[in-house]
Structure 1
Amino acid sequence: MDESWDNLNVQLDSNISKSIKQLGFKHMTPVQAATIPRFLQNKDVAVEAVTGSGKTLAFIIPLLQMLLKRDTPLKKNEIGGLILTPTRELAIQIDEVLNQFLSHVTQFTSCLFIGGLDVTQMIEKFKTQGCNIIIATPGRMEDLFQRKHDGFNLPASVKALEVLVLDEADRLLEMGFETSINMILSHLPKQRRTGLFSATQTDEVENLIRAGLRNPLRITVKEKKNTVNQLVPKTPALLQNYYMIVEADEKMNQLISFLRKHKKNKILVFFSTCASVDYFKKIIEQFVQNTTVFHIHGKLKQKRVKVIEKLRNADNGILVCTDLMARGIDIPDIDWVVQFDPPSSSRAFVHRCGRTARIGNKGNALVMLLPAEETYISFLKINQRTPMVEMLVDEKAANIVPKVKKFTKRDRALYESGMKAFVSFIQFYGKHECSMIFKTKELNIGKLATGYALLRLPKMPELKGKVIDNFTEEDIEPDSIMYKDKIREKKRQEEIRKIQSGEIVKKTRNFRTKAWSDQKVRKEKRKENRERRARKKKRKQEEMSQGDLDELDDDMKLFKKFRKGKVSKEDLNKEIDATLEKGEGVK
């Protein structure tokens, strides 16, 4: 049960307590109750807690309290607190929460150092208004440490640092910020308190704990069991997980049918690639009326913050996104998370689901899988201890594919967008971490192309030599498809005219014209990259114990028997339950 703030065995400053009450935080979440008192006892903490558990307050409140209790008050440009976080969206979100406290704790000022903002303006604000608490992304922070301007010297300003927070530490490392973090740590004083907050513990996070924390207190907060024999899931306790088994050529129809039924809700729809987000956003806008459709992916640098803010303030809406939105971002009242494409890993599955059912609220999540991917449900049950309930397909779902094709014939932009989405998905699928379940060779390419409403198949190496069934190309010349945008079409026609007249040469991918020596260099580089990836893969495999490998091998053999009809679903579930009970017994 969540604890009252009044029961906190540490006396908080009256202004902090006032902020907590005015912001409506009546009870502490388990991670807050476990972390805040210990962080305030001048201990470094390494906190692992499920997504949506309220980690932000677990470090903002101790940070402010420790700065208030300093013997010497911070000067205008002395930095007492530094919060590093992986994305600008999460940094802005933390900044919003912090500013709600700073409206009462007025003796401190804060700065937001992230990409997408003018560096000169950031530095000028720091110099004129001062800054005691920085919220930053590692790349921008590293950049500012190396800049020297009149009256701006960040290495000198951080000498007064009391508290460092590494939020979403596992993702900081996944996104390749290890070098930046090490550089930042080299500038910070050793006598400081450090809090590391993460949803999952990895070997990389463990290395960071050893490098950046001194004798850390480890805090792990799990969701509580409901019954004696029930497993503790890695997803939020009030989250209901569903799965739908659907053929590739029906997937788009089922998605639109689902969104039409739930258009009064707030929904996140996850896709694997930026191209898929761009394509399906256009389709959803066309076929799901009377709701607002937003989209976010890594290539939309400047618009992302505005999109998140609009969705936060909306009563309902659909956000089409990539895994950029899977971690840390808190949008209130998300009713459904829909995973149209399989997540890149089981951890990504948990993080996606964690966008709903946050901090004690209820929520729902649906993952849409192809028939060949059904064993992923059993895999999640073992690997992530995530129970799933099947949602049947809507037999009355309208077939919108012919209508999408009709629109595609009238707009070249939609035609090109669909081709890019299809190609990017095939490439993503071939690199899936769970390759024993998600096999490119088992994809029904024809049905997949039909489900993407393609007019014809693209030319790509993955399709070379394949016999494609269940797909009929449309009788239309691709060059005859015009852009709906008249300016863009005029530009295309001008380019065609110049090619036909010989004024310009049509760009082709003809590598034979390149010098043989250049080809040899590229070939050697590709070979080195392959060998490096192979060594990395081998190291990961060696890190797994033989027992884990044998157990995984047994699971996969069982899944294969089930798919071939040699084992019933009832026997499969019995074996899974037996494996889970054995695992719990070992713990």
Structure 2
Amino acid sequence: MCVGRCGYVYASAAVRPALRQQTRCARTSTAHRRSDTTRHTSGESSSASSAAPAMRFDELQLSEGTMKGITQILGYETMSDVQSKAITKVLHTSNDVLVQSKTGTGKTLCYLIPVIEKMVRSPPVAVGALILAPTRELVLQIVKEASQLLTHHPAIDILPLTGGTSRRQDTVALKRRRPQIVVATPGRLLDHLSSTFNFHSLFTGLSVMVLDEADRLLELGSIDDLRTIMTYMPKDKQSLLFSATITDDVREIATRACRANYMLIDCIPHDDIPTVDRVQQRYVTLPARCLTQVLYHCLMNEMRTNLYSYKILVFFPTARCTAFFAHFYREQLRIAVYEMHRRRDQHTRSVTSDRFKSDPTGIMFSSDLSARGMDYPNVTLVIQVCAPPSREQYIHRIGRTARVHSDGRGLLLLTENEAQGGMEAIKDLPIHKIDDKSLFYQNDLLVNAVSSWMANTQLLFAASAAYASLLTYFKVHARRLKLSDSDIIQTAGDMLLSAGLVDTPAISRRLAQTLQLEGNPMIKVQDNLDELDALEYLHETADHNRQKQHEERRYVEELKLTAMGRKHDDRDHTFTQTYG
């Protein structure tokens, strides 16, 4: 085995089989250790639980089906501290409850177990439980965990309602599956409540409503949606709110959603060390033209340090920027990179998320889609490219590492133009500057990578899209980052030039006018880009219309099949009367 240039480890033909066997053994032993820890307790490490005897799930006197789901499917036997505090109180009270708990502590089970037990003891006619979550990814994560718990409860079904599918598909699924539990994003739920005929009648028998990550719901601007949703829900339901922080907005929503005698359960220990203090934080100030090589060396250093256990999460400012750099690192540097952002379809995002979770090693390039609500285990390093949009978002991002009493490291890559404003909001945090000249080393691999893709039309198109998105991002945050228009244009352009782009792309006149950059001598405007955008929009519209016609035909066929298959189903008759 020898170390080649750029830090790559090469193995000769004679030692490759042994190296592969060593890798398999190391990963297998790591997987076994993780499996043992997971089975020992849900949400916390074995070392934490060994300090005091943990409460067992079988002490809760749950139904047989729920216990089988916990022990046989999820593989849990004992509860985390948060679960032992919250589940016991929520399970045996009809009062509304506001729970303060951090993410990554197993809080999802804190409401799923009481909700399922309530459905078992008092089976609802229609929807008996509604769970609201801030993002589609978190909704699907909740549904996946709930489905595992419901393995031995065949009479209880759960259905997600999120964007990305038509309302008509949701309606068909509701009538076919008759779910007792609905998990939804506020936007999609409100869309149905305001547009789908008689949709609100589904919730006339609602017995429990859960708001997961209530503070995140409010951060995403859902406060008005939540206020409207509350008006559709019955007053005599039980409300369960879970939040990592208790802000004034969270208290307002609690006042609206909960009855006057609601309980506050604080599951954060008084001597608990905040995640931001457990993460070793560093930042590097660099010319934007050096971004690609600095990021490359940061990744390689981590991969060499943790050869069999590295797990790196890299945050980029925008989705299009994420897409370009993910494509560049895969195509030009031959580094396997997972890609997560909102411009990928829901199925692809779900598959990517599951693979990154299960992979013992990996690198994910992500937009802020992964900043909250996604529990990626064993992340060793979080890298943030450019100044984050806010102090809160910086903290949420580095919170993806140092989960559940483990340690982690965070690295912030700041371009020179944004360094002063970018550090202003986080200067009181334990973050230290590093000056490592080796990060700026330009080796042969990097030189070849950045100089050999000008004929790649996909990368060229992705670079142009990333440039436009970066201009928009920096313009929005210009005042906070103390950026002039010239700084914005230079930083956005240099970030892409660092990857080998020969010349700064042109943008459409419409975008230049929107960003108030038209007339700046540093910006290039191309009139026919507006026509290309319009042509692309027309193609997308035509594809959408064809897909809509196909969905309408399939909808009619499914309605016919539904009517034939349930003609003699009394329960379905009751459900249809309720739904309308």
Q: TM-score, normalised by structure 1?
A: 0.68
- 2:281 is the alignment partner of 1:241: yes
Residues 1:341 and 1:223: Cα distance change in structure 2 (over 3 Å): farther
How far did residue 135 of structure 1 move? 0.9
Q: Tell me the amino acid that sits aligned with residue 263 of structure 2.
A: L
Report SS of the residue matched to 1:407: coil
RMSD, aligned α-carbons: 3.6
Asked if structure 1 preserves the Cα contact closer than 8 Å seen for 2:98 and 2:265, the reply is yes
With over 3 angstroms needed to count, the CA separation of the structure-2 counterparts of 1:299 and 1:115, relative to structure 1, is: same
Q: Work out whether 1:84 is the aligned partner of 2:132.
A: yes
Instruction: Give the secondary-structure state (helix, strand or coil) at the position aligned to 1:82.
Output: strand
Which secondary structure state, in structure 2, belongs to the residue aligned with residue 34 of structure 1?
helix
Q: Give how far 1:360 is off.
A: 3.6
Alpha-carbon distance between aligned partners in 2 of 1:25 and 1:439, rounded to the nearest angstrom: 54
Task: Name the residue aligned to 1:357.
Answer: 402
Deviates more, 1:184-193 or 1:2-11: 2-11
Residue in 2 aligned with 1:370?
A: 415
Letter in 2 for 1:61: I
In structure 2, C-alpha distance between the alignment counterparts of 1:266 and 1:192, rounded to whole Å? 42
Could you tell me which residue of structure 1 aligns to residue 187 of structure 2?
A: 139
2:505 corresponds to 1:453: no
- Give the distance between the partners of 2:169 and 2:110, measured in 1 at CA: 31
Partner SS state of residue 409, structure 1: coil
Distance 1:448 1:292, change over 3 A: closer
Following superposition, the deviation at residue 233 of structure 1 comes to: 2.7
CA distance in 2 between counterparts of 1:250 and 1:242 reads 18
Cα gap change, 1:183/1:386 in structure 2, threshold over 3 Å: closer, same or farther?
same
Pairing 1:100-139 to 2, within 5 Å after superposition: 100-117=148-165, 119-139=167-187
The equivalent position to 1:432 in structure 2, one of 462, 477, 483, is 477
Q: Distance in 2 between matches of 1:379 and 1:342?
A: 10
Q: Do the aligned partners of residues 122 and 9 (structure 1) sit closer, same or farther apart at CA in structure 2, a change above 3 Å counting?
A: same
Q: 1:178 to 1:309 in 2, by over 3 A?
A: same
Distance verdict in 2 for CA 1:15–1:33, change over 3 Å: same
Q: Is 2:258 the counterpart of 1:210?
A: no
Go from structure 1 to structure 2 and tell me whether the alpha carbon gap of 1:409 and 1:287 turns closer, same or farther (over 3 Å shift): closer
Distance in structure 2 (CA, Å) of the matches to 1:17 and 1:393:
56
Q: CA deviation at 1:110?
A: 1.2
Percent of aligned pairs with the same amino acid: 28
Q: Deviations over 1:486-505 (max 9, x none)?
A: xxxxxxxxxxxxxxxxxxx9
Please give the alpha-carbon distance, in whole angstroms, between the structure 2 residues aligned to 1:296 and 1:7. 35
Letter in structure 1 aligned against 2:345: K
- The 5 Å alignment of 1:337-352 reads 337-352=382-397
- SS of 1:43's equivalent? coil
1:280-359 → structure 2 map (5 Å cutoff): 280-289=325-334, 292-302=336-346, 303-359=348-404
Which consecutive residues of structure 2, in runs of 5 or more, have no partner in the other structure? Answer: 1-47, 507-511, 532-580
| Residue pairs, 1:191-210, within 5 angstroms | 191-210=236-255
Instruction: Give me the whole-angstrom Cα distance separating, in 2, the residues matched to 1:433 and 1:104.
Output: 54
1:64 pairs, out of 111, 116, 123, with: 116
The answer to whether the aligner puts 1:219 opposite 2:265 as a matched pair is yes
Shift of 1:89: 1.2
Greater mean deviation of Cα atoms: 165-174 or 277-286: 165-174
Q: Give the Cα–Cα distance (whole angstroms) in 2 for the partners of residues 313 and 262 of structure 1.
A: 19
Deviations 1:71-106 (A, max 9, x none): xx333xx21111111221111100011011101344
Q: How many angstroms apart in 2 are the aligned matches of 1:169 and 1:128?
A: 31
Larger RCO (CA within 8 A; separation ≥ 6):
2
Deviation string for 1:305-344 (max 9, x for gaps)?
A: 2322332343433221111111101233333221112211
Q: CA deviation at 1:457?
A: 3.1
Query: Which stretch of structure 1 is more off in the superposition, 36-45 or 356-365?
Result: 356-365
Q: Which runs of structure 2 are paired with 1:496-507 in the superposition (5 Å)?
A: 506=528
Task: Give the aligned partner of residue 254 of structure 1.
Answer: 294
1:20/1:261 Cα in 2 relative to 1: closer, same or farther (>3 Å)?
same
User: Are 1:398 and 2:442 an aligned pair?
Assistant: yes
Structure 1 Cα separation of the partners of residues 104 and 252 of structure 2: 25
> Distance between the aligned counterparts of 2:338 and 2:110, measured in 1?
31
Structure 1 residue 133 displacement after superposition:
0.8
Q: Is the 8 A contact 2:289 2:497 kept in 1?
A: yes
Shift of 1:293: 1.9
- Structure 1 stretch 181-190 or stretch 215-224: which is displaced more? 215-224
Distance change in 2, residues 1:508/1:366 (3 Å) = closer
- C-alpha distance after superposition, 1:170-220 (max 9, x if no partner): 232333333433333222211111112223344433322221112332334
> How many Å separate the matches in 1 of 2:437 and 2:143?
42
**Inter-partner Cα distance in structure 2 for 1:200 and 1:129:** 36
Where does residue 70 of structure 2 map in the other structure?
20
AA partner of residue 243 (structure 1): Y
Aligned to 2:102: 50
Q: Quick one: structure 1 residues 161 and 252, their matched pair in 2 at CA, closer, same or farther if it must change by over 3 Å? A: same
| Secondary structure of the corresponding residue to residue 115 of structure 1 | coil
**Does the CA contact (< 8 Å) of 2:206 and 2:237 recur in 1?**
yes
Local SS of the residue matching 2:239: strand
Q: 1:29 aligns with which of 80, 100, 110?
A: 80
Q: Is the 8 Å Cα contact of residues 268 and 336 (structure 1) preserved in structure 2?
A: yes
Change (3 A) 1:26 1:463: farther
Secondary structure at the aligned position of 1:59 is classed as helix
Give the aligned partner of residue 202 of structure 2: 157
In 1: Cα distance, 2:478 partner to 2:502 partner: 30
> Partners in 1 of 2:405 and 2:243 — Cα distance?
19
Preserved CA contact (<8 Å) 1:31 1:53: yes
Aligned counterpart, 2:147:
99
Corresponding residue number in structure 2 for 1:173: 218
Contact 1:418 1:452 in 2 (8 A): no
CA distance in 2, matches of 1:54, 1:6: 14
Question: By how many angstroms is 1:440 displaced?
Answer: 6.5
Query: How many Å separate the matches in 2 of 1:148 and 1:436?
Result: 43
Matched residue SS, 1:369 = strand
- Consecutive unaligned residues of structure 1, counting only runs of 5 or more, are 227-231, 480-504, 510-587
Change in 2 beyond 3 A, CA 1:463/1:158: closer
**Distance (Å, rounded) in 1 between the aligned partners of 2:318 and 2:440:** 29
